[in-house]
Structure 1
Amino acid sequence: MSVSVYYSASRATALTAAETAAVGRVAADSATAFPFPDEESLCLYEGDSEHVVHGSTKLPSDPERMLPALAAVLGSVTALRRAVPDADWHVHLDDLDVPWDETEGYAFPGLSGGELA
């Protein structure tokens, strides 16, 4: 059974050139910093009329990799939201919404911290 993180941002206006560049930087940084190069990291889809940013990431099935990968993906999605702050964001882990915190970003309690590194 696979578990995936889904992320999307919607708004009436398209991304500006600066926002598009920022989203590209987040995607590149995510690919470089992802802890498991042989696994899927941040995966953004082509833009459409409904979303200015959207994508998904299939998490590793190995329990030793799943939580660190989830933390890395949520960190990248946090960076995306901060790059495009004036959109309606929805982030969920399959059917479970991921909470947003202005200070911490997207995270689950106990997910970040040294014990996952």
Structure 2
Amino acid sequence: MSVSLYYSARRVLPLTEAEAAELEHIVTAHRESFPYADEESLYLYGDGGGEPGEIVTGSTKLPPQLERVMPVIAHVLESVTELRRALSNAEWRVHMDDLDLPWDEDEGYALPGI
């Protein structure tokens, strides 16, 4: 059984060129520092998910090895936190399958209770 993290942002206005460049910078930096070359990393689907108002959509399939799950989750959530801070004027949703992950202004995204 596979579990994935999903992330999306919505707003009325499309991304500006400057915002798109900032998001690309964050994604590139994330991929360069990702701890496992053989695991799925932060992945954005391109220009939204096709839904009206979606400006960012993406997902990351979590690894099946238990010892790798937490480092991957921590790394991806840190990156999604950076993405959200870069696009703070959008409505974000981050979830792991059916579990919505809460946003904390100071800490960003994290798994509840960890």
Question: Corresponding residue for 1:115?
Answer: none
Alignment of 1:94 onto 2:91: no
Question: Corresponding residue for 1:80?
Answer: 83
Paired residues in the alignment total 111
Q: CA deviation at 1:91?
A: 0.3
Partner Cα distance (1:89, 1:40) in 2:
21
Q: Secondary structure, in 3 states, of the residue corresponding to 1:61?
A: coil
Contiguous gaps of at least 5 residues in structure 2: none
Contiguous gaps of at least 5 residues in structure 1: 112-117
Question: Corresponding residue for 1:42?
Answer: 42
Question: Corresponding residue for 2:33?
Answer: 33
Give the TM-score of the pair, scaled to structure 1. 0.90
Q: CA deviation at 1:50?
A: 3.3
Q: Secondary structure, in 3 states, of the residue corresponding to 1:32?
A: helix
Q: CA deviation at 1:109?
A: 4.5
Partner Cα distance (1:46, 1:32) in 2:
19
Please provide the CA RMSD for this pair.
1.1
Give the TM-score of the pair, scaled to structure 2. 0.92
Equivalent runs, 1:17-32 vs 2, <5 Å: 17-32=17-32
Q: 1:97 to 1:109 in 2, by over 3 A?
A: closer
